[in-house]
DNA sequence: GGCTAATTGCAACATTGTTGCATTTAGTCT
DNA sequence: AGACTAAATGCAACAATGTTGCAATTAGCC
C-alpha cells in the first residue's frame, strides 16, 4: 500500500512531498518494472511533470528504505512487497506480458548457501529472476497451439 | 579457452577477425564483468583501438553463441565457462574484489521450478547471483577483525 | 504566517547505446 | 600470390540514460 510507504517516510524523518507521492502511486499501479524515464513518461501522460534528476533521487531513496527494488536484469524498479527478507530478493517475470511477482523461499536460500559454500564462497545476498510464463499467458499460449 | 571460442566461430560460419580475437582475449583475461566501454578502455591501454559500435556488435554475437554472458545485476559481460545449461545461469560475485565465478546446480533449478509452480508460474529460465565474499576476501576480512 | 533544512528544478555535462552507410577485410576461388 | 565478394568494421550523427553543482522551492516546524 502507498499509505504504508508514506508511514515509513514519516517515521524515518523524510518529507512526504508531492513528487514522492507521485512516484509511489506510479510504482504501486505498475505491474511491471519501470525505469526512471518510464516513470517520467507515465507521469507526463497524466499532465504531471517531474524532472528526471528528481526521479533518480527518489528511487535511490526508496531503494535504500526497501520501499522499492532495482531489478537485476533490466535495471527497472518495482515496489517492494515483501520487505528485505535478509538480503534475499526473488522475482518471477513473465517474458510475454512483462508482469512481475516477488517471492521468497527460505529453503532456496539455504540450498544456495550450502552449494556456494562448497566453492569456499560466503554468500550474503541472493538475487534471482525466474523468467517464463505467468498463468494467464501460459493458458493463452496453450490455446493458440491447440487451435493450430 | 580462446581457441575453443574461435572453433565455435569458424564452425558456425563467422569470420575470425582481429577485433573478435581482441575482445575474446580481454574477456578471457578478465576476472570480473566488463561493460563494452570497459573493454574498449582496456584495449586502448594496449594500444589497440576498437570502435565501440564494433564492440557492441561482437558482444551481441558472442552472447547469441553462448560464448559470453550478459550479467543481470550490472549488465557487464563475462566469458561463458559452462555453456548454456538449459537456460540456467548462476554466478557468485564477490562484493569486495569483484571477482566472479559461474556455477550450475540442477537441484537448485528443480526446487526453484517446483516453488514457482505453486504460483501457477511456468519457469523457463533461471538467473541468479549470489553475492558475498570469495575465500580470499573472507580470510582477509577475518584477519582484520581479529587484529582489532 | 514566517523560518529553515530538506527537497526539487535547472543547466550543463558525461556516459552509454543505436542506426545508416561508406570502407575494409577474412575467407574463397582461381 | 592476386582478385572477388559477402561479412565485418569504422565513422558520423544521433538518441537515451545517468550525474553533478547550485539556485529556487517547499514540507514540516514553531
Ligand atoms: Mn523485497
Ligand atoms: Mn553459461
Ligand atoms: Zn504473462
Ligand atoms: Zn573477493
pLDDT in tens, A57-82: 999 999 999 999 887 656 778 787 77
Task: Say yes or no: A6 and A65 in one domain.
Answer: yes
* pLDDT mean over A27-44: 93
| C-alpha grid cell, residue B104 | 550450475
Q: CB B111 to CB A111 under 8 A?
A: yes
Residue A66: which residues within 8 A CB-CB, separation 6 or more?
A: A80, A83, A84
User: Which candidate from A108, A119, A138 shows the least CB-CB separation from B101?
Assistant: A119
Contact B123 A132 (CB under 8 A): yes
Does B72 lie in the same domain as B21? yes
Query: Which ligand lies nearest the alpha carbon of A125?
Result: 1
Domain boundary, last residue among B30, B57, B81: B81
pLDDT at A17: 98
Distance from Cα A97 to the centre of ligand 3, integer Å: 4
Closest by CA to A65, choosing from A53, A82, A83, is A83
Give yes or no: residues A11 and A57 share one domain. Answer: yes
Work out how many domains chain A is built from and give that number: 2
Residues A77 and A90 grouped into a single domain:
no
How far, in Å, is the centroid of ligand 4 from the Cα of B94? 5
pLDDT of residue B148: 44
pTM of the model: 0.76
Q: Using a 7 Å cut-off to protein CB atoms, list the covered nucleotides of chain D.
A: 7-13, 16-21, 26-28
Same domain? A28 vs A45: yes
Residues A76, A23: one domain? yes
Residue A107's domain spans which residues? 85-148
Give me the pLDDT at residue A70, please. Answer: 82
Overall average pLDDT of the A43-60 stretch: 97
What is the per-residue pLDDT across B101-135, written as a single tens digit (0 to 9) for each?
Answer: 888 888 999 999 999 999 999 998 888 888 888 89
Q: In this structure, are B91 and B73 located in the same domain?
A: no
Mean pLDDT of A15-24: 98
Confidence of residue A148 (pLDDT cuts 50, 70, 90): very low
B26 and B89 both lie in a single domain? no
Domain edge (last residue) among A48, A63, A81:
A81
Q: Please say whether the beta carbons of A20 and A9 come within 8 A.
A: yes
The answer to whether residues B27 and B57 belong to one domain is yes
| Residue-wise pLDDT tens digits, B54-67 | 999 999 999 999 99
Statement to judge: residues B35 and B48 lie in one domain? yes
Asked whether residue B20's C-beta has any atom of DNA/RNA strand D within 7 A, the reply is yes
Amino acid at each position: 500500500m502507498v499509505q504504508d510507504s508514506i508511514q515509513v517516510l514519516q517515521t524515518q524523518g523524510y518529507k512526504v512531498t508531492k513528487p514522492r507521492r507521485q512516484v509511489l502511486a506510479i510504482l504501486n499501479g505498475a505491474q511491471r518494472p519501470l525505469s526512471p524515464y518510464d516513470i517520467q513518461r507515465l507521469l507526463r501522460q497524466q499532465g504531471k511533470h517531474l524532472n528526471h534528476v528528481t526521479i533518480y533521487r527518489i528511487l535511490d531513496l526508496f531503494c535504500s528504505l526497501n520501499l522499492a527494488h532495482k531489478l537485476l536484469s533490466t535495471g527497472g524498479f518495482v515496489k517492494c512487497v515483501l520487505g528485505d527478507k535478509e538480503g534475499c530478493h526473488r522475482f518471477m517475470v513473465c517474458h510475454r506480458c512483462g508482469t512481475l511477482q516477488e517471492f521468497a523461499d527460505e529453503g532456496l536460500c539455504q540450498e544456495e548457501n550450502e552449494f556456494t559454500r562448497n566453492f569456499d564462497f560466503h554468500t550474503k545476498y541472493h538475487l534471482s529472476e525466474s523468467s517464463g510464463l505467468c498463468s494467464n499467458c501460459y493458458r493463452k499460449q496453450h490455446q493458440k497451439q491447440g487451435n493450430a
